[in-house]
Amino acid sequence: MTQETPQPQLDTIASADGDGRNERHRSRMARKKAVIDDKIAQAQRDCGVIVITTGNGKGKSSSGFGMVVRAMGHGMKTGVVQFIKGAIPTGEEKFLRRFPEECEFHVMGEGYTWETQDRTRDIAKAEAAWEQARRMLRDPSFGLVLFDELNIALKLGYLDVSTVIADLQARPEMQHVVITGRGAPQALVDAADTVTDMTPVKHAFAQGIRAQAGVEM
């Protein structure tokens, strides 16, 4: 969040062009910087955070995978458990399986709930997936873990929300957890640090364009 101030020479040139727009921009940005710096000064705690991406819009899982590679860039070991998806090998799975030392990847689901149509089997899969997740939550060598589509498993009642929250809260202090999927339960939202609702504005699918490799899968 820190950065050198602009070079004095460039400022002089900017003022010399006479329209005052640069000067107004500078003073507006200086005020903005003061407000932001003050907020930064007040936020000094470091700890693992729980991030939830939910809602009906596109970008929930992809933002989770973006955080996984961001963490890998910082040298963290990461873990991924996919709860619902699984029938179709995805680009993110193909890519991340190239780095087994950096990212432990588990696909535990068998596909979307409307494809399996079998609640007993879906519950057994979700429970097995949560066992993998719990193991990661007890292992401080994982810097960031992603539980993709966990919200859906919770929403459908495949897993008990209070058990999941207790396991999350017992994790190592510096471990980050990212949880994705529509319909995050309120108790999980309450237990999280950062929550984003991905709100759809428009979607290519509605315009007759099918799911595109690289974008949706």
| Residues numbered 109-128 forming contacts with a copy of itself, rule: CB under 8 A | 110-111, 113-121
- Interface residue with a copy of itself, options 5, 18, 38, 100 (CB under 8 A): 5
Q: Indicate the residue among 5 and 101 with the shorter CB distance to a copy of itself.
A: 5
Looking up tokens 């940005």 gives 29
Q: Indicate the residue among 30 and 101 with the shorter CB distance to a copy of itself.
A: 30
Tokens of 147: 């539980």
176 is an interface residue for a copy of itself by CB under 8 A: yes
Within 134-173, the residues that bind a copy of itself by CB under 8 A are: 143-144
Shortest Å, Cβ 119 to a copy of itself = 4
d(CA 131, CA 159): 11
The C-alpha angle 92, 117, 65, rounded to 5 degrees, equals: 15
Within 23-42, the residues that bind a copy of itself by CB under 8 A are: 25-26, 29-30, 32-33, 36, 39-40, 42
Q: Indicate the residue among 161 and 217 with the shorter CB distance to a copy of itself.
A: 217
Shortest Å, Cβ 43 to a copy of itself = 4
Contacts with a copy of itself: how many residues (CB under 8 A)? 100
- Interface residue with a copy of itself, options 18, 100, 101, 207 (CB under 8 A): 207
Select from 148, 146, 144 the least CA-distant residue to 182.
Answer: 148
Within 61-90, the residues that bind a copy of itself by CB under 8 A are: 61-67, 69-74, 76, 87-88, 90
d(CA 69, CA 71): 5
Shortest Å, Cβ 69 to a copy of itself = 5
- The CA-atom distances, in angstroms, between 38 and each of 3, 23, 35, 42, 119 are 15, 23, 5, 6, 51
43 is an interface residue for a copy of itself by CB under 8 A: yes
- Residue 68: partners with Cβ closer than 8 Å, 6 or more residues away: 78, 80, 96, 103, 144, 146, 178
Sheet of 176-180: strand order equals 50-54, 176-180, 142-148, 77-82, 103-107
